Amino acid sequence: MSYYSYYICKKIDRKYIEKIQEITNHKIVHTIKDAEVLPKKINSDLMIIAPTTGNTIAKLANSISDTPITIAVKSHIKNRKPLVIFIYTNDGLSSNACNVGTLLNRKHIFFVPFRQENPITKPYSLSSDPEYIIDTIKYALKGEQIEPIIL
């Protein structure tokens, strides 16, 4: 979980954190130190970032590892395991389009199919469709990108 998400959950109602930990049966990882060793502790078959913001997409595309999420992804990808990205960004068709394109061409990275969130009021915004998460995971575990990517 990102610093910000953890902080907000903790500030609004600690029950959110407790519920996530209960469902996953794991303590929430929200520090770089804990995220760095996560792939060694948990032998996961796949990692999903949901939602994946434009900021995180830019960091992943440019190999910047300065958050718990990007550190965990770096370690996960190093093990040649699939990463699924659930994109949710306001600038996916503007300043972040090049970063989306970079990640589309990387091995072991798969996108949940996405579309413009609202072409009239938010013309540059991209959002993945939650209906495709499970199918995307199934394809990613076989090393394939579900098609079409753009809905």
**Which residue has tokens 């954190």?**
17
In angstroms, the CA 146 to CA 86 distance is: 13
Q: What is the pLDDT of residue 40?
A: 67
Helix-strand-coil split of the chain, %, nearest 5? 45, 20, 35
- For the chain, the domain total comes to 2
Same domain (yes/no): 116, 91:
yes
Same domain (yes/no): 21, 77:
no
Q: What is the pLDDT of residue 146?
A: 96
Residue 113 structural domain: 31-141
Q: What is the pLDDT of residue 133?
A: 94
Same domain (yes/no): 66, 128:
yes
Read out DSSP for 92-137? TTTTTHHHHHHHHTSTTEEE--EEEEETTTEEEEEEE-GGGHHHHH
Examine residue 45 and state whether it is found in any structural domain, yes or no: yes
Same domain (yes/no): 4, 71:
no
Same domain (yes/no): 45, 76:
yes
Same domain (yes/no): 3, 61:
no
The H or E element containing residue 47 is strand 47-52
